[in-house]
Amino acid sequence: MNVILLGPPGAGKGTQAQRLRENYGLMHLSTGDMLRHEIDKQTDLGLSIKEVMSKGGLVDDETVIGMIATVLEGPEARVGIILDGFPRTERQAIALDLMLKKRKVAIDHVIEIKVDDEALVKRISGRYMCKAKNCGASYNDFFKKPAVDGVCDVCGGSEFMRRPDDTEEAVRTRLKKYYHETMPIVPYYLEKGLLREVNGMLGIDKVTEQINALIEG
Ligand SMILES: [Zn+2]
């Protein structure tokens, strides 16, 4: 079984991919991770990828298709794969179909984890944590404030911290980038009747249930 997972950063795609791996024995292929791994190895390819990514650009089709092809030839991909971050263009989607066809398989499901953008912005830009070493309790400006303002419910600490890239502006930029990158492949999979949606605003377990129902249904 081969699955493409779509969803913006913050929708819990990583967690769901991990569960698909555990539940169905699928191999998780995140092109983001694969590209970073190539950069870490400091190969010639890695260096050229680094240059493109540092300018905020997208790595060219050949490079990404080549990386995926190498993995597909290996034994680990035999049971099936979860693709995350690939394909991003119709050309990549067509190349993927050809690679799978050689192995006599195909994409079975394209699952989009749908989110409510405004709620996601609040969920991420509102989150902060207790700074105390052994606590780390999490809070949110919109959904979960401490009972006493400025005092941690769990440890009584009064220092909190936020991740630097959790600002509203940064979240909106990440969302915009996601929609921009995903748009080109939506018509391709819609036409094939493979694209399905799950509601990503429910709890993690509920999202998993919806995904499992789609796969097994
Ligand atoms: Zn605390």
Does the annotation mark 88 as catalytic? yes
DSSP E strands, the chain: 3-6, 27-30, 81-84, 109-114, 127-130, 138-140, 160-161, 195-199
Give domain 3-116+168-216's CATH superfamily. P-loop containing nucleotide triphosphate hydrolases (3.40.50.300)
Nearest to 63 by CA among 30, 38, 94: 38
Taking the centre of ligand 1 as the mean of its atom positions, its distance from the CA of residue 153, in whole angstroms, is 7
Query: CB-hemisphere CA count at 13 Å for 179?
Result: 9
Residue-level pLDDT at 52: 87
| Residue predicted with more confidence, 106 or 183 | 106
Convert the pLDDT of each residue in 26-65 to its tens digit.
Answer: 999 988 888 999 899 998 889 999 998 888 777 888 899 9
**Ligand 1 ion: Cβ-proximal residues, 5 Å cutoff:** 130, 132, 135, 137, 152, 154-155, 157
Q: Which two tokens stand for residue 213?
A: 């129902």
Tokens 């789609």 -> residue: 214
Average per-residue pLDDT for the chain:
93
Taking the centre of ligand 1 as the mean of its atom positions, its distance from the CA of residue 102, in whole angstroms, is 55
Taking the centre of ligand 1 as the mean of its atom positions, its distance from the CA of residue 130, in whole angstroms, is 5
Convert the pLDDT of each residue in 74-115 to its tens digit.
Answer: 888 989 999 998 998 889 999 999 999 999 999 999 999 999
Tokens 């989009």 -> residue: 112
Query: Would the pLDDT of 68 be above 80?
Result: yes
User: What pTM was computed for the model?
Assistant: 0.83
Q: Among 50, 145, 172, 174, which one carries the catalytic annotation? A: 174
Q: Among 163, 176, 177, 192, which one carries the catalytic annotation? A: 163
Does the annotation mark 144 as catalytic? no
Q: How confident is the model at residue 194 (pLDDT cuts 50, 70, 90)?
A: very high
CA torsion, ordered 208, 116, 91, 50, to nearest 10 deg:
-90
C-beta of residue 84 within 8 angstroms of C-beta of residue 28: yes
Tokens 């779509």 -> residue: 6
Taking the centre of ligand 1 as the mean of its atom positions, its distance from the CA of residue 152, in whole angstroms, is 5
| Residue predicted with more confidence, 206 or 217 | 206
Does the annotation mark 163 as catalytic? yes
Taking the centre of ligand 1 as the mean of its atom positions, its distance from the CA of residue 136, in whole angstroms, is 6
Residue-level pLDDT at 32: 85
What percent of the chain is predicted at pLDDT more than 90?
Answer: 70
Taking the centre of ligand 1 as the mean of its atom positions, its distance from the CA of residue 132, in whole angstroms, is 5
Residue-level pLDDT at 59: 86
C-beta of residue 88 within 8 angstroms of C-beta of residue 185: yes
Q: At 57, phi and psi to the nearest 5?
A: -85, 170
The residue count for the chain = 217
Q: Helices marked H in 74-135 — which ranges?
A: 90-102, 117-125
Taking the centre of ligand 1 as the mean of its atom positions, its distance from the CA of residue 208, in whole angstroms, is 30
Residue-level pLDDT at 29: 93
Does the annotation mark 19 as catalytic? no
Does the annotation mark 206 as catalytic? no
Q: What is the mean pLDDT of residues 16-32?
A: 93
